């Protein structure tokens, strides 16, 4: 970063919310060093914040590196931490370690960015998933202190953030290394003054289970979106064992029931891997069955991708045809669930907060369950009100704002 002073810089960012938070921090650091952000054609230097979670993403990173190989190129993110051999085969960039970004910026929270802010509550995880290269990049869990998290939340809330995202590789593992627990952190955060809601990031079922009852109770607060991202990966106990996930399919359903009994309309999201090595037809059918029973309202489906240096990389892959077919079957079942969930919401009224501006003349708002609602009106970011759901799309709904008498915006 010391070389990036007073330069015109082009930045590309890939991957998870945690990565994008690092990008926001890096932008603030570079602006403080007199840099200006420009398009690729004008750039004197290029920064790519990399992701390598699957092979296709890594290949895209290499293609982007080669595009900018003749410029002053900097890389950060997971790739320099786990795949320097692949980087060196493509080009010779300078490296910005993610840790150095966080140290230089000096806060767990990002700069204020409209209505949404991010707080990185931990890096790394406690798992040992046999297919995952992210653990190799990010290492063991390292949690931010309660005070650091609270300071970041206070700063974002005071700056007008309406949605504060708590992010990490495994949010429910926060505090394990410090002898603390996520529900206790949440109880502290919701006492912070301000009109904001927390959106909690990805949580491994294995680290949710020990805190399940207290975590479900913590969601009673109106300052927490009733949204849970619970990556399952497979519905087969045998496959979960080979993945080294640390839980069974029944445990996942227990988590889903605990939340849905308390919050019937809660949105629970999940991830599935299609075609893990050795997955039989019967084991894949168990994934379909789990997806159907849990009725996840959002699902990220990934075809298994061998990652170098992981235990699963030593196993024989299923054919690309099988992986593709299984991915399509999971997607078809997920689409049916989305359609059913959104159909049931038509005609319902809900509180909303506007968090994004996507297209001219319309905004994206969120319900207390984090439902994605497009309002065809040019409302300001942070606007709070009520809306009625009028139409459904597969991945979002259309809403009409309910106007108060005499209201002016």
Check whether residue 283 and residue 383 sit in a common domain.
no
Q: Which residues pair with 36 in a beta bridge?
A: 8
Burial class (CB in 10 A: 0-12, 13-18, 19+), 364: middle
- The CATH number assigned to the domain holding 373 equals 2.40.50.140
Instruction: Give the span between the Cα atoms of 14 and 9, in whole angstroms.
Output: 17
Residue 35 zone, left/alpha/beta (φ > 0; ψ -120 to 50; rest): beta
Check whether residue 148 and residue 258 sit in a common domain.
yes
Check whether residue 31 and residue 124 sit in a common domain.
no
For residue 79, which of 55, 105, 102, 109 has the smallest C-alpha distance? Answer: 55
Backbone angles phi, psi at 242, to 5 degrees: -70, -30
Instruction: Give the span between the Cα atoms of 250 and 277, in whole angstroms.
Output: 22
Domain count, the chain: 3
Check whether residue 187 and residue 257 sit in a common domain.
yes
Domain limit, last residue, from 45, 69, 101: 101
Instruction: Give the span between the Cα atoms of 196 and 201, in whole angstroms.
Output: 16
Identify whether 409 is part of a domain: no
Check whether residue 398 and residue 271 sit in a common domain.
no
Identify whether 351 is part of a domain: yes
Identify whether 407 is part of a domain: no
12: domain range? 8-101
State which residues of the chain have pLDDT below 70: 405-409
Check whether residue 84 and residue 232 sit in a common domain.
no
The pLDDT score that the predictor gives to residue 187 is 98
The pLDDT score that the predictor gives to residue 94 is 96
The pLDDT score that the predictor gives to residue 114 is 80
Check whether residue 180 and residue 292 sit in a common domain.
yes
The pLDDT score that the predictor gives to residue 2 is 81
Identify whether 3 is part of a domain: no
The pLDDT score that the predictor gives to residue 407 is 57
Check whether residue 227 and residue 335 sit in a common domain.
yes
Identify whether 235 is part of a domain: yes
Q: Which residue has the tokens 């061998």?
A: 306
* pLDDT digits 0-9 by tens, 301-356: 999 999 999 999 999 999 999 999 999 999 999 999 999 999 999 999 999 999 99
Instruction: Give the span between the Cα atoms of 127 and 239, in whole angstroms.
Output: 16
First to last CA, the chain: 43
Q: Which residues pair with 271 in a beta bridge?
A: 300
Can you point out the beta strands (E) in 276-393? 298-303, 349-359, 362-366, 372-375, 384-392
Identify whether 339 is part of a domain: yes
* Tokens linked to 69: 């190989």
Identify whether 2 is part of a domain: no
The pLDDT score that the predictor gives to residue 395 is 93
The DSSP H or E segment spanning 285 is: helix 281-294
Identify whether 23 is part of a domain: yes
Instruction: Give the span between the Cα atoms of 228 and 189, in whole angstroms.
Output: 17
Instruction: Give the span between the Cα atoms of 53 and 14, in whole angstroms.
Output: 10
Give 255's contacts (C-beta < 8 A, 6+ positions apart). Answer: 205, 208, 209, 212, 230
Q: What is the pTM of this model?
A: 0.94
Check whether residue 56 and residue 96 sit in a common domain.
yes
Check whether residue 88 and residue 170 sit in a common domain.
no
Cα of 290 vs its chain's centroid, Å: 22
Domain limit, last residue, from 344, 372, 389: 344
* pLDDT digits 0-9 by tens, 194-223: 999 999 999 999 999 999 999 999 999 999
């Amino acid at each position: 970063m010391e070389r990036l002073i007073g330069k015109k810089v082009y930045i590309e960012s890939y991957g998870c919310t945690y990565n994008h938070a690092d990008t926001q921090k890096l932008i603030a650091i570079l602006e403080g060093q007199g840099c200006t952000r420009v398009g690729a054609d004008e750039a004197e230097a290029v920064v790519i914040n990399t992701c390598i979670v699957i092979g296709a993403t890594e290949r895209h990173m290499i293609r982007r590196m080669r595009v900018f190989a003749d410029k002053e190129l900097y890389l950060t993110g997971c790739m320099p931490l786990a795949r320097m051999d692949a980087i060196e085969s493509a080009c010779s960039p300078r490296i910005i370690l993610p840790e150095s970004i966080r140290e230089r910026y000096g806060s767990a929270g990002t700069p204020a960015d409209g209505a949404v802010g991010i707080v990185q509550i931990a890096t790394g995880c406690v798992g040992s998933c046999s297919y995952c290269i992210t653990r190799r990049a990010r290492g063991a869990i390292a949690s931010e202190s309660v005070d650091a998290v609270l300071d970041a939340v206070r700063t974002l809330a005071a700056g007008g953030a309406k949605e504060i995202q708590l992010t990490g590789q495994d949010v429910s593992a926060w505090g394990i290394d410090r002898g603390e627990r996520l529900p206790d952190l949440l109880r502290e955060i919701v006492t912070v003054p301000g009109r904001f809601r927390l959106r909690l990031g990805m949580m491994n079922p294995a680290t949710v289970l020990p805190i399940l009852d207290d975590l479900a109770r913590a969601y009673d607060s109106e300052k927490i979106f009733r949204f849970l991202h619970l990556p399952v990966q497979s519905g087969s106990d045998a496959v979960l064992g080979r993945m080294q996930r640390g839980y069974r399919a029944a445990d996942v359903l227990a988590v889903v029931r605990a939340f849905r009994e308390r919050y019937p309309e809660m949105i629970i999201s999940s991830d599935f891997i299609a075609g893990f090595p050795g997955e039989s037809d019967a084991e894949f059918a168990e994934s379909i069955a789990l997806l159907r029973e849990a009725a996840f309202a959002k699902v990220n489906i990934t075809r298994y991708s061998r990652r170098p240096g992981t235990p699963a990389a030593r196993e024989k892959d299923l054919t690309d045809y099988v992986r593709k077919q299984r991915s399509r079957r999971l997607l078809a079942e997920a689409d049916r669930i989305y359609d059913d969930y959104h159909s049931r919401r038509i005609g319902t009224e809900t509180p909303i907060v506007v968090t994004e501006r996507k297209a001219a003349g319309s905004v994206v708002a969120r319900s207390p369950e984090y439902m994605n609602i497009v309002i065809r009106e040019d409302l300001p970011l942070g606007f709070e009100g009520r809306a009625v759901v009028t139409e459904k799309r597969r991945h979002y709904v259309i809403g009409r704002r309910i106007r108060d008498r005499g209201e002016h915006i």
